Structure 1
Amino acid sequence: MTLFDLPDADTLYIALLTRDPSYEGRAWVGVTSTGVFCRFTCPARKPKPENCRWFDSLGACIEAGFRPCKRCQPLKAATDAEPVIEELLTALGERPEHRWCEADVTAMGYDRGTVRRAFKRHFGMSFLELARLERLRRGFEVMSEGGTVLEAGLEAGFSSASAFRARVGALLGMAPGTLSADPLLSIDWIDTPLGPMIAVADGHRLHLLEFMDRKALPTELRKLAEAAKGRLGFGRTAIHDQTARELTAYFDGKRTVFTVPLAYHGSGFYGQVWDALREIPAGETRSYGALATGIGRPTASRAVARANGANQIAILIPCHRVIGADGSLTGYGGGLWRKQRLLEIETDYARAARTESVSQP
């Protein structure tokens, strides 16, 4: 639960440059060029604005894949407030290869409920969730840099390469060993305020963009692997970078239209529906029936719904803007809570645009 609504990115960047202490404990910056997150009062050299990501909780920083800065020690406030946090984080740092469980917490003399509440209060996640996330993040970093599954598993602290394969396999729906070392389609993750997303791209177009916890993700990745004749693997392209920049601008309130080149994987009818989705202005919604009528197929509401559900490029192809005829949110692969939040963000866009047009002479 957020108690402090972050202002716009320009305001936050000025506060970072001036080391404004009023943001202490309320906002943090993640630096994409270094992979660390800092307090606003950090004495380190300030990053460029395009390399900044803004967060309203420690947990959000960690979940987005950033490490705490060693100079400003952004976790210190939490550890000072509750010593159990410092002791467990120290233990986590000293045993990065360990697979932590509740029995370990109990063996250290802590009450599991107390620990869970303390971490939830300061990080928005439990200690065990934080430990698992940290291990997986380290493994993904190694593989994205060209490391082997064995190297990634060891770096992530898994007991064996097979254990790491199983974890990544459960996430991606395929064993890491089957991924190509010379990919035609490259997998990487992109961090957003609504959670990490998996992005698949070649050097020219984006083929997939899904929230990491989407149930259909493994199936979608297997289909892409087949389309690429097995040449699907870890890596990052200029398209990933462009997608990340435009998503950041979208969430910062600076962009409603995306220019990333997209690759459609579907029939001509599906492509027609996805084009129509991209024409819905931010801040507006359509029913399946209205969308069908708009493409000249007024009796094809069900087919339109299927095409909407088959979309595998979230946000950029805004299937979240389609709602039920009665105004209900209906289904969304990324979760209804995300659909609600995306619509709220875009409602704010529309409201700001109306206010600006009225204020102009």
Structure 2
Amino acid sequence: MNAIMTLPTEAQMYKAIVQRDARMEGVFFVAVKTTGIFCRPGCKAKTPKRENVEFFATSAEAQAAGYRACRRCHPLELSGATPVWLNDLFQRIKDDPNRRWTNGDLELLGLSPTRVRRWFQEQYQMTFHAYLRTQRIGLAVDRLRSGEDVTSTAFGSGFESLSGFRDSLRKWVGETPTSAKQTEPIFTTRILTPLGPMLAAGGDSGLCLLEFADRKMLAKQFQRISRLFQQPILVGSHEILNQTARQIQQYFQGERTSFTLTLRMDGTSFQTAVWQHLLAIPYGQTASYRQLAERLKNPTAARAVGRANGDNRFAIVVPCHRVVRSDGHLCGYAGGLWRKKWLLNWERQHTNSTGQIPLPLGPP
């Protein structure tokens, strides 16, 4: 089913492209009549005159109107996709994950170390070199857990000495090589969506976190879950992350209305009760903080429900975006209020269970 999204006003959209507001990614696309090209809201190209642009809810609509995709901002790709200028670097990392990269190595590839560092901090909440180290440690832990001996793992993972391997494990995993065989790390990866990249974290016991990568305080959220579960967080792959990526993709294709993921919903008894009630809000519908408090048989706890809602670690999957004020107005979404509006509109347009009018998508 094709989405018919409610757009902001044309004045709001033109203001967004003037300001190159990347927060409006996924909300609309802008097409330039004089060039025949359509772009993302945050495109760095020269801002066109107001009379020369028109707006579309989807890239498919822009293409149907005869416009070509911009080669600078690549509007046909999901927001947050690896930029073209980084493709060669990622391929080299994939081919040799144990290689130690220096700033000089990056410069030889024509890359600015500062630009590379900034991209990894924005997308992974860590520097490029921290990304490489945690990935290398993650691969080493996998080898130890599969039964490989310590010496083979150390040298096979690119370490020059056993002592250096032990020191790295103690720093990043908090374990010796022998005890690391029994450790259960939390792995993290990026998931691309029409509303921007998300960061997922999980392991053998289930998914620990799923949040939009640009959420404020996300780095502290990772620190909290590491302390909560007493497990190191490493860059890597895991079946729970693969399942999450597939189900999130199905959600944004309009093919999934609920999730079947194992969630590590550890929290206080009140928090977990609130989160369970969030899971019970049907797709395409909303509930108020007061209604949730009443369902918890604590009608004066609406504010506490709001705090527990804000502590939810699983964006979209545990649908805190479906909670609104008693008067129907939207408030309080850590991923950005515009995303909350988009998600509610999307769900209402992909269900026959409600007759509610889609919410207008104003600026963040």
* Common fold: TM-score over 0.5: yes
Aligned to 2:121: 169
Alpha-carbon deviations, 1:192-251, whole Å to 9, x = none?
A: 222221111113411111112211322212223444657212112111111122122222
* SS of residue in 1 equivalent to 2:200: strand
Residue 177 of structure 2 is matched in structure 1 by: none
Distance 2:91 2:336 in 1: 27
Letter in 2 for 1:347: R
The structural deviation recorded for 1:114 is: 6.4
Partner of residue 333, structure 1? 334
Query: What's the CA shift for 1:296?
Result: 1.8
State how far apart, in whole Å, the 2-side matches of 1:203 and 1:264 are: 14
Which residue type is aligned with residue 210 of structure 1? E
- The corresponding residue for 2:142 is none
**CA distance in 2 between partners of 1:83 and 1:253 (Å):** 30
Instruction: Kindly state the Cα deviation for residue 170 of structure 1 after the two structures are TM-superposed.
Output: 4.6
Residue aligning to 1:182: 137
Counterpart among 90, 101, 104 of residue 150 in structure 1: 101
Q: Which piece of structure 1 moves more, 275-284 or 237-246?
A: 237-246
**Could you tell me which residue of structure 2 aligns to residue 134 of structure 1?**
84
Deviations 1:102-155 (A, max 9, x none): 8xx9xxxxxx4569x99x996888937999843456656766784557289839
Encode CA deviations 1:236-289: one digit per residue, 9 max, x unaligned.
211111112212222222221211101124322111111110011112111111
Question: What is the rounded CA distance, in whole Å, between the counterparts of 2:349 and 2:276 in structure 1?
Answer: 24
Q: What's the CA shift string for 1:43-78, capped at 9, x where partnerless?
A: xxxxxxxxxxxxxxxxx9xx99xxxxxxxxxxxxx9
Task: Say if 1:173 and 1:219, in contact at 8 Å, map to a contact too.
Answer: no
Residues 322 and 246 of structure 1: CA distance in aligned 2, closer, same or farther (over 3 Å): same
Relative distance call for 1:163 and 1:275 in structure 2 (3 A) is same
Query: Structure 1 residues 170, 249: CA separation in 2 closer, same or farther (over 3 Å shift)?
Result: closer
Where is the helix percentage greater, Structure 1 or Structure 2? 1
Correspondence for 2:112 = 159
Letter in 1 for 2:101: L
Q: Which amino acid aligns with 1:279?
A: A
2:271 maps to 270
User: Partner residue of 1:37?
Assistant: none
Distance 1:7 1:274, change over 3 A: closer
Contact 2:101 2:129 in 1 (8 A): no
Task: State yes or no: 1:257 paired with 2:209.
Answer: no
Deviations 1:270-311 (A, max 9, x none): 111111100111121111111111112211111110110111
* 2:84 counterpart letter in structure 1: E
Is the CA contact 2:203–2:238 (under 8 Å) kept in the aligned structure 1? yes
Q: In the superposition, relative to structure 1, how do residues 126 and 228 fare at CA in structure 2: closer, same or farther (>3 Å)?
A: farther
Separation (CA, whole Å) in 2 of partners of 1:285 and 1:84: 38
Q: Secondary structure at the match of 1:350?
A: coil
CA gap 1:132/1:123 in 2 versus in 1, 3 angstroms = farther
Map of 1:231 onto structure 2: 232
Partner of 1:41: none
For 2:235, give the aligned amino acid.
F
CA 1:219–1:350 in 2, change beyond 3 Å: closer, same or farther? same
**Structure 1: gaps spanning 5 or more residues:** 9-59, 65-77, 86-101, 106-111, 355-361
In the alignment, residue 236 of structure 2 is paired with which amino acid? G
CA separation of 1:352 and 1:300: change in aligned 2, threshold 3 A: closer
Give, in angstroms, the shift of residue 321 of structure 1: 0.4
CA contact (8 A) 1:200 1:206 kept: yes
Q: Distance in 2 between matches of 1:227 and 1:138?
A: 37
Using structure 2 for the length normalisation, give the TM-score.
0.57
Q: Secondary structure at the match of 2:137?
A: coil
Structure showing greater relative contact order (alpha-carbon pairs closer than 8 Å, 6 or more residues apart): 2
Structure 1 letter corresponding to 2:106: L
Sequence identity, in percent? 35
Shift of 1:169: 2.9
Q: Secondary structure of 2:351's match?
A: helix
- Cα separation, 2, equivalents of 1:257 and 1:84: 37
1:190 deviates by 1.1
Q: 1:40 matched to which residue of 2?
A: none
Q: Output the aligned Cα RMSD.
A: 4.3
Scaled by the length of structure 1, the TM-score of the pair is 0.58
Unaligned runs of 5+ in 2: 5-21, 39-43, 56-61, 76-80, 139-184, 356-364
